[in-house]
Amino acid sequence: MEIKAVVRSLPITPRKIRLVADIIRRKSVDEAEKTLMLLDNRAALPLRKLLQSAAANAFNSAKLSKEELVIQSIEVSEGIRMKRARFASRGRTHPYKKRTTHVAIYLIKR
């Protein structure tokens, strides 16, 4: 049985999330949670919360504990890009895009 948890429009760029997601991919939930606790990275906290949510979904829907769950896959995709402007000299502006991310975690029984 596959358990899923999703977070959408996370205000961190997809590349930064992927760097952390690659570290915990294919690990057990306990091991991944410990790894995310130790990482000093801005992307680690939302991923840890999402992992805890997926584990809670597994417990509530299928009565599976954290010890018997493994991360099957983590999908990181680009969300919306909000156009913003940075003020520059001589009354001009420089446009940039604020990127967001959609993340989905899939867990399976070991």
Considering the entire predicted model, what is its pTM?
0.91
- Tens of each residue's pLDDT in the chain, 110 residues: 899 999 999 999 999 999 999 999 999 999 999 999 999 999 999 999 999 999 999 999 999 999 999 999 999 999 999 999 999 999 999 999 999 999 999 999 98
Please tell me the CATH code under which domain 3-76+102-109 is placed. 3.90.470.10
For the chain, what are the domain ranges? Answer: 3-76+102-109
Q: Give one DSSP letter per residue of 17-86, joined into a string.
A: HHHHHHHHTTSBHHHHHHHHHH---TTHHHHHHHHHHHHHHHHHHH---GGGEEEEEEEEEEEEEEEEEE
Tokens read off for 108: 């399976």
Residue with tokens 């969300």: 79
